[in-house]
Amino acid sequence: MLPLDPSADIGRRAWVNCPRCRDDRDCGVCRAGRTCRDHWRYLLANSGSLVHLQCPNCTHLWAEQTGFGAGGAGR
């Protein structure tokens, strides 16, 4: 298991599915699209609409294209 990234800050969070552990899959709050107090991810960095995330549960690191922000699909 990877260590938690040193830049991980609980004040910078995102509510997206972790592609590795999918710990949110049985959560009614997450399935309803609401902000869950348990299933959030560290938002490590972003570059326009590309976000870099880490799961606090399994420590998986990944990047995800959101389609929002500078250079996103919404433009």
Residue among 23, 28, 52 nearest 40 (CA): 23
Range of the domain at 30: 13-65
- What burial letters (b/e) apply to 21-58, b meaning 16+ CB within 10 Å? eebbeeeeebeeeeeeeebbbbbbebeebebbbbbbbe
- Asked if residue 1 belongs to a domain, the reply is no
Q: How confident is the model at residue 75 (pLDDT cuts 50, 70, 90)?
A: very low
**Has residue 21 been placed in a domain?**
yes
In a domain, 2, yes or no: no
Domain-located, residue 61? yes
pTM of the model: 0.84
pLDDT tens for residues 17-69?
A: 999 999 999 999 999 999 999 999 999 999 989 999 999 999 999 999 988 76
Any domain includes 4 = no
Domain count across the chain: 1
